[in-house]
Structure 1
Amino acid sequence: MLASTATKGAQTRQRLRSLALLGAFLITPLLFIGGPDYSSGPLLRSVWNLGHIGLFALFTLGIQPWRWFRGWRLWFAPTAILLALGLAIETIQSGLGRDMDWHDVLRNLIGMWLVLAWFPSRPTPAGGRVLKLSTALLAALELASTATVALQQFQVHQQLPQLYDFTRSDPSLFWRGQVSKVDDASGGLSIHMGTETYSGATLQNLAGDWRDYQQLILSLYNPEQAPLQMTIRIHDVAHEDNNRYSDRFNQRLLLATGDNRFVIPLDTIREAPESRDMDMGRIRRLGLFATHLPRPRTVILKELRLQ
């Protein structure tokens, strides 16, 4: 009876190991192909990144390093191996045109550490409770980060018709470029432009469904006496497959001294692509930039909303 029970237990563990390895090998190609791209939003990226934890938890269950290592060597040896492997994976990914993310290396380790700390069918080293608590905390922090991104994206869509909340303290979560919050009573967002060919800021995290609105309204403050010519650029998700000038909306904005307010009909934006209508339900980015400035300039964006 005892022998039969032991045999069944061994068979169950072997099936678990086989399923874990199968799952890991099926998921592994996604490290190099598929997944979020340039046009993907922050939430998809954050959720996708959690896959590193699951993948390397499966690998650890399948390989079962406790068959060869005991005590603290069970932690040191696999950690060193996976650290080297993670660095190699990130290097290979950069060669395939994908961004290197050293945080992914930590996520790989968290997946392995969770199994080493919590898998019940292996000896637990001294300090096992501390290891369990530490690994659970690391995993919880990753989940909390994704939850924070989800809440942020919910707020982005709830703030319509405003396209950006100027009360936010860190615009870098939403904008790319040299931007900073203006802290005086006038408020707004400071956009600094240099002398490079194209210089400005791009709102890349915004509510993309503009179908229920008719106009885009923006206000820019030019603090200098000299006028400034800028361009507003808007495109949808489909445009990011080709990036052609004729496939997006571009409009010149001439800024006089002081406040400048512009009202742009959304029909004009929709009809801007040469061979198609822009998808007003999937707007992806809005950029404000100047070209070939003879010297650095700064403008203040004070209003950006739909109507």
Structure 2
Amino acid sequence: MALNLPAYRPARNTQILRYLAFAGMILIAPLFFVGGPGWSDGPLFKSAWNLGHILFFALLTLAIQPWRIWTGWTLWGISTLAVLLLGTGIELLQHGTSRQMDWQDILRNQVGVWTILALRPRASLTRKSRPVVWPLRLIVAALLAAEIGATARVAIQQYHVSQLLPALYDFRQPDPSPFWDGVIAPVTDHAIDAHKRALRISLSTAHYSGVSLHNLPEDWRDYDRLVIDLYNPQDHPLPMILRINDMEHDLGDNNYNDRFNTRLPLTPGPNQFKLDLDRIKAAPESRSMNMQTIRRLILFTVALPEPKTLYLRDIRLE
């Protein structure tokens, strides 16, 4: 029996790896439909969660071991097609739940299966196709690095956000879309006096029109006031509304009396508003707002008769 041990151990290790892959796959599978990031979760959690597609389909490939049946381009083609159909089916099934379809997940699924195929000793290719082994591995490695790199960039972004205080937004950002929702763009011009950087907010005639700062430092406990500096280029007043809520409100039923709401009457030209944080904390009707988990700040108008423009020049805590 000792003579057979060297050949037996690799086979046994392969079976153990296969069983572990099956177990991991079974544990992960329900997460396609239960749990996961909701609409109120931050970008880092959402980005990291997306990597689970790569992990699941890598485990699925290890568990099934399709190279036991096919080889060469047949293996790659059938595996790719099978994962394409399975991934599409999962996205369609998710459409009927609270989860949203994300067709980029289908690419992540493919990256998972391709990663395992590319790591095979001979890349599961025949002798004639072996010259393409390393280019193929490099392509798969680049796709995998792009997905992991995207999550790493989000992690760095979120670290910078956590370090912004007392500022709530970095006006040096070239693209506000990872932080704001709405029609908003960075500007640098003399129309806003000495302020070299600002955000131009475009307001429409929709019933509610405005912008939402959803990616911001959350812990406001060490500060006393919120300062908002706005510039109204119109020659007439512009009525604005400010809304602030914490994570608990986002996870609740969106009750008007469970958040902070106030009017900001903008006169022509520069306007600065200073709001006591104690007032914001006491705004919810049946509780105190959690000043450690501020989740969203919204500036909006209601039923404007014509489109308007304003500039946000500063937003910070004191």
The question of 1:259 aligning with 2:270 is answered yes
> Partner of 1:40 in structure 2?
41
Letter of the structure 2 residue corresponding to residue 273 of structure 1: P
**1:20-60: CA deviation from partner (whole Å, max 9, x where unpaired):** 01110110111111011111111111111111111110000
Please give the alpha-carbon distance, in whole angstroms, between the structure 2 residues aligned to 1:63 and 1:207: 45
Q: How many residues align?
A: 307
Asked if structure 1 preserves the Cα contact closer than 8 Å seen for 2:236 and 2:267, the reply is yes
> Which of 185, 190, 212 matches 2:200?
190
Please give the alpha-carbon distance, in whole angstroms, between the structure 2 residues aligned to 1:165 and 1:108: 35
Letter of the structure 2 residue corresponding to residue 165 of structure 1: D
Asked if structure 1 preserves the Cα contact closer than 8 Å seen for 2:185 and 2:200, the reply is yes
Please give the alpha-carbon distance, in whole angstroms, between the structure 2 residues aligned to 1:123 and 1:192: 55
SS of the residue aligned with 2:150? Answer: helix
CA spacing shift, 1:260–1:118, aligned 2, 3 Å: same
Letter of the structure 1 residue corresponding to residue 144 of structure 2: A
SS of the residue aligned with 2:146? Answer: helix
How far the C-alpha of 1:7 sits from its partner, in A, is 2.7
Asked if structure 2 preserves the Cα contact closer than 8 Å seen for 1:66 and 1:122, the reply is no
SS of the residue aligned with 1:34? Answer: coil
Asked if structure 2 preserves the Cα contact closer than 8 Å seen for 1:117 and 1:124, the reply is no
> Which of 201, 204, 214 matches 2:224?
214
Please give the alpha-carbon distance, in whole angstroms, between the structure 2 residues aligned to 1:305 and 1:239: 22
> Partner of 1:172 in structure 2?
177
How far the C-alpha of 1:121 sits from its partner, in A, is 8.4
Please give the alpha-carbon distance, in whole angstroms, between the structure 1 residues aligned to 2:264 and 2:217: 23
The question of 1:158 aligning with 2:163 is answered yes
Q: Percent identity?
A: 50
> Partner of 1:28 in structure 2?
29
> Partner of 2:186 in structure 1?
181
Letter of the structure 1 residue corresponding to residue 77 of structure 2: F
Please give the alpha-carbon distance, in whole angstroms, between the structure 2 residues aligned to 1:4 and 1:281: 60
**1:164-183: CA deviation from partner (whole Å, max 9, x where unpaired):** 11111101111000001113
**1:266-281 equivalent positions in 2, closer than 5 A:** 266-281=277-292
Asked if structure 2 preserves the Cα contact closer than 8 Å seen for 1:198 and 1:292, the reply is yes
Asked if structure 2 preserves the Cα contact closer than 8 Å seen for 1:198 and 1:290, the reply is yes
The question of 1:52 aligning with 2:63 is answered no
SS of the residue aligned with 1:95? Answer: coil
How far the C-alpha of 1:280 sits from its partner, in A, is 0.2
TM-score by length of 2: 0.93
Deviates more, 1:84-93 or 1:280-289: 84-93
How far the C-alpha of 1:129 sits from its partner, in A, is 1.3
SS of the residue aligned with 1:172? Answer: coil
SS of the residue aligned with 1:72? Answer: helix
Asked if structure 2 preserves the Cα contact closer than 8 Å seen for 1:218 and 1:263, the reply is yes
> Partner of 1:115 in structure 2?
116
**1:189-235: CA deviation from partner (whole Å, max 9, x where unpaired):** 01111111111000010010000100000011111112111100000
SS of the residue aligned with 2:309? Answer: strand
Deviates more, 1:45-54 or 1:118-127: 118-127
Please give the alpha-carbon distance, in whole angstroms, between the structure 2 residues aligned to 1:57 and 1:119: 12
**1:64-91: CA deviation from partner (whole Å, max 9, x where unpaired):** 1111211111111110111121112112
Show structure 1 runs of 5+ residues with no match.
Answer: none
Please give the alpha-carbon distance, in whole angstroms, between the structure 2 residues aligned to 1:246 and 1:113: 51
SS of the residue aligned with 2:155? Answer: helix
How far the C-alpha of 1:142 sits from its partner, in A, is 1.1
Asked if structure 2 preserves the Cα contact closer than 8 Å seen for 1:202 and 1:287, the reply is yes
Asked if structure 2 preserves the Cα contact closer than 8 Å seen for 1:231 and 1:288, the reply is yes
**1:123-142 equivalent positions in 2, closer than 5 A:** 123-125=124-126, 126=130, 127-142=132-147
TM-score by length of 1: 0.97
Please give the alpha-carbon distance, in whole angstroms, between the structure 1 residues aligned to 2:153 and 2:75: 34
Please give the alpha-carbon distance, in whole angstroms, between the structure 1 residues aligned to 2:265 and 2:134: 65
